Chains A and B, each alone.
Chain A
Amino acid sequence: MSQQLARPIRRALLITSMPVYLLLYAPLALIAVFSFAPAPGGASASAHWYADLLHDPDVLAALRRSLILGIGSSILGTILGTLMGFGLSRFRTRARTGFAAALPSLIIYTPIIMPSLVFGISDLIFFNLMHKATGLFSAGLLTMGIAHVTFQAPYVALVVFARMAGLDPNLFEASQDLYADARQSFLHLTMPVIRPAIIGGFLLAFTLSIDDFTISYFTAGPGSTTLPIYIYSAVALKGISPDINALATLMIATVIGIGLLQYVFSRQKERHPMPRTGD
Chain B
Amino acid sequence: MPGTTDRGGITLEGISRVFGGGIVAVDQIDLAIRPGEFFTLLGPSGCGKTTLLRMIAGFETPDSGRIVISGREMQTVPPHRRAVNTVFQSYALFPHLNVAENIGFGLRMRGIARAERKFRTDQIMALLQIDDFATRNPAQLSGGQRQRVALARALVNEPEVVLLDEPLSALDAKLRAELQVELMRMQKRLGMTFIFVTHDQQEALVMSDRIAVMERGRLLQVGPVLDVYEQPRSVFVAEFLGLSNIWPITPAPGNTADTPLGRLTIVTPIGNERTAMIRPEKIWIYNDTAAPLDRPNIFRGTVREAIYMGASTQYRVELHDGSIVLALDTNNQAAERSWQPGEAVALEIKPENIILIDG
Per the CB under 8 Å rule, do A and B touch in the complex? yes
The reply to whether A179 and B94 form a contact with Cβ atoms under 8 Å apart is: no
B279 within 8 Å of A by Cβ? no
User: Counting CB contacts under 8 A, is B139 at the interface?
Assistant: yes
Knowing A193-B96, A272-B96, A272-B139, say if A184 contacts B91 (CB, 8 Å).
no
Contact A275 B93 (CB under 8 A): yes
| Complex contact A174–B94 (CB within 8 A) | yes
Q: Which residue of A lies closest to B163 (CB)?
A: A177
Instruction: Out of B57, B85, B94, B139, name the residue touching A189 (CB < 8 Å).
Output: B94
Asked if B123 is an interface residue, CB under 8 A from chain A, the answer is no
Asked if residues A274 and B92 are in contact (CB atoms below 8 Å), the reply is no
Contact between B169 and A278, CB atoms less than 8 A apart: yes
How far is it, in angstroms, between the C-alpha of A181 and the C-alpha of B79 when the chains are bound?
A: 9
The answer to whether B79 touches A173, judged by C-beta atoms less than 8 angstroms apart, is yes
- Whether B313 is near chain A, meaning CB under 8 Å from some CB there, is no
- What 1/0 mask marks residues of chain B from 112 to 138 whose CB sits below 8 Å from any chain A CB? 000000000000000000000000011
Given A177-B57, A177-B85, A279-B170, A272-B137 contact (CB < 8 Å) = yes
Mark each residue of chain A from 246 to 279: 1 if its CB lies under 8 Å from any CB of chain B, else 0: 0000000000000000000000000011110111
> B139 near A177 (CB under 8 angstroms)?
no
CB distance from A98 to the nearest CB of B (A): 14
Residue-by-residue, is A170-190 near B (CB-CB < 8 Å gives 1, otherwise 0)?
Answer: 110111111111001000110
The answer for the CA separation of A173 and B85 in the assembled complex, in Å, is: 11
Interface string of B35-74 (1 = CB under 8 A from A): 0000000000000000000000111000000000000000
Q: In the complex, A273 Cα to B141 Cα: how many Å?
A: 12
* Bound Cα distance A181, B109 (Å): 8
Query: A166 to nearest B CB, angstroms?
Result: 9
Task: Report the interface size for chain A: residues with CB under 8 A from the other chain.
Answer: 26
| Known A188-B105, A188-B109: A178·B91 in contact at CB below 8 Å | no
In the docked arrangement, what's the CA distance between A279 and B45, Å?
15
Inter-chain contact A178/B153, CB cutoff 8 Å: yes
A126 to B211, CA, bound (A): 67
For B169, list chain A residues within 8 Å (CB): 278-279
Pairwise interchain contact A177-B95, C-beta atoms closer than 8 A: no
In this complex, what residue of A is CB-closest to B93? A275
Q: Which residues of A contact B141 (CB under 8 A)?
A: 275
A1 at the interface (CB under 8 A from B): no
The bracket for how many chain B residues form the interface is 20 to 34
B79–A278 CB distance below 8 A:
no
Q: Is B80 a contact of A177 with CB atoms below 8 Å?
A: yes
What residue in chain B is nearest A196 (Cβ atoms)? Answer: B96
Q: Which residues of A contact B93 (CB under 8 A)?
A: 174, 275
The complex places the Cα of A171 from the Cα of B95 at a distance, in Å, of 9
Q: How far is the CA of A273 from the CA of B137 in the complex (A)?
A: 9
- Docked complex Cα distance between A192 and B94 (Å): 10
Let me know if B91 and A180 touch, CB within 8 A. Answer: no
Q: Which residues of A contact B22 (CB under 8 A)?
A: none
A95 within 8 A of B: yes
Expressed in whole angstroms, the Cα–Cα distance for A184 and B111 within the complex equals: 11
Whether, in the assembled complex, A121 has its beta carbon less than 8 Å from a beta carbon of chain B, the answer is no
Binary contact track B162-173/A, C-beta < 8 Å → 1, others 0: 000000011000
CA distance A170 to B87 in the complex (A): 10
From the candidates B78, B137, B170, name the one contacting A176 in the complex (CB within 8 A): B78
Q: A58 at interface (Cβ–Cβ under 8 A)? A: no
B20 within 8 A of A: yes
**CB within 8 Å for A177 and B79 given contacts A273-B139, A274-B95:** yes
Q: Among residues 190 to 214 in chain A, which have CB atoms less than 8 Å away from a CB atom of chain B?
A: 192-193
Q: How far is the CA of A177 from the CA of B53 in the complex (A)?
A: 13
The docked-state distance in angstroms from the alpha carbon of A181 to that of B106 is 11
Give chain A nearest CB distance to B192 CB in angstroms: 15
Residues in B232-289 with C-beta less than 8 Å from chain A: none
Q: Is B302 an interface residue (CB 8 A)?
A: no
* Docked CA distance A188–B95 (Å): 12
Residues A274 and B170 in contact, CB atoms below 8 Å apart: no
Chain A CB within 10 A, most for which of B59, B85, B109, B170: B109
- The yes or no answer to A168 lying at the interface (CB within 8 A) is yes
A88 at interface (Cβ–Cβ under 8 A)? no
A167 at interface by CB-CB < 8 Å: yes
Q: How far is the CB of A29 from chain B (nearest CB, A)?
A: 40
Distance A175 CA – B88 CA, assembled complex (angstroms): 12
Chain A 88-112 near chain B by CB (<8 Å), digits 1 or 0? 0000000100000000000000000
Instruction: Evaluate whether A177 and B89 lie within 8 angstroms (CB atoms) in the complex, with A272-B137, A273-B139, A275-B139 already known.
Output: no
Which residues of A are found within 8 Å of B90, using beta-carbon distances?
Answer: 168, 170, 277-278
Q: Closest residue of chain B to A273, judged by CB?
A: B139
Q: Which residue of B lies closest to A275 (CB)?
A: B138
Which interface residue of B78, B85, B93, B137 has the most chain A CB atoms within 10 A? Answer: B93
B92 and A278 form a contact (CB under 8 A) = no
Among residues of B, the one whose C-beta sits closest to the C-beta of A191 is B96
- Neighbouring A residues of B94 by C-beta, 8 Å: 171, 174-175, 189, 193
Give the nearest-CB partner of A184 in chain B: B109
Q: List 9 A-B contacts (CB under 8 A).
A: A168-B92, A170-B88, A173-B92, A176-B78, A178-B105, A178-B106, A181-B80, A188-B105, A272-B95
Residues on A lying within 8 angstroms of B by beta carbon are 95, 167-168, 170-171, 173-181, 184, 188-189, 192-193, 272-275, 277-279
Knowing that A176-B80, A279-B170 touch, tell me 14 more A-B residue pairs with CB under 8 angstroms: A168-B90, A168-B92, A174-B92, A175-B94, A175-B109, A177-B86, A178-B80, A178-B109, A272-B96, A273-B139, A274-B95, A278-B91, A278-B169, A279-B169
Query: Which 6 residue pairs across A and B have the least CB separation, nearest first?
Result: A278-B170, A178-B106, A170-B92, A277-B90, A174-B92, A179-B109
